[in-house]
Chain A
Amino acid sequence: AQSVTQLGSHVSVSEGALVLLRCNYSSSVPPYLFWYVQYPNQGLQLLLKYTSAATLVKGINGFEAEFKKSETSFHLTKPSAHMSDAAEYFCAVRLNNNDMRFGAGTRLTVKP
């Protein structure tokens, strides 16, 4: 069964530092992978998606993710964290029957 695992429920970085949020997937076929962000008291918003067109995917707000088949990973990165990046981030995989399964989420804290 396809699923995603997010490593680390909480990540804390200083403003200006690199952001790295980890996601590993399990899939017997090439997956469709997504990163969503949730700001406090809001619904989830799409950051970026991988659809096999390119292994390095650029999203909104300076985030990007790289699909690595050899490592079954789809980690989310941003070179320089901003205070406004503080939120919860979810990795997700689309299943063959079109529903979406989400990871447990990683809460990002950005320190001044």
Chain B
Amino acid sequence: DAGVIQSPRHEVTEMGQEVTLRCKPISGHDYLFWYRQTMMRGLELLIYFNNNVPIDDSGMPEDRFSAKMPNASFSTLKIQPSEPRDSAVYFCASSLFVPGANVLTFGAGSRLTVL
């Protein structure tokens, strides 16, 4: 398996533009997580899905952020309109539920810079 695949790896955009980050989880995994990492706030959970259904989106900063998972092999995180404070590395991770302990497998991340 190629692991969790995220695209783009780097994105530079101007304030006000729409940004779409993409994630392909590991085949067969039933959980998908979106995290944001910044120097100031560390690693924050934004939202996670179970079997394509959003379970907890309490970490989504505001209405400018939205996430979808139309099928088991694809998820998007959209920011519209983007702001400079959204600059961060966004990680997608997936896991397979196993009684005992889930292990998250992370993608390489998407580094977003909003000018």
Contact = CB atoms under 8 A, between A and B. Distances in A.
Interface of A: 32, 34, 36, 41-46, 49-51, 90, 94, 97-105
- Size class of the contact patch on chain B: 20 to 34
A46 B101 CA distance: 12
A100 B106 contact: no
Nearest to A49: B101
A34 B108 CA distance: 19
Contacts of A101: 45
Interface in B56-115: 56, 91, 93, 97, 100-109
SS class, residues of chain A in contact with chain B: strand
Given A43-B4, A44-B91, A97-B56, A102 B43 contact: yes
Given A94-B101, A102-B42, 15 more contacts: A32-B102, A41-B108, A42-B108, A42-B109, A43-B93, A43-B107, A44-B106, A46-B103, A51-B100, A98-B50, A99-B33, A99-B45, A100-B33, A101-B45, A103-B42
A98 B31 contact: yes
A105 B50 CA distance: 26
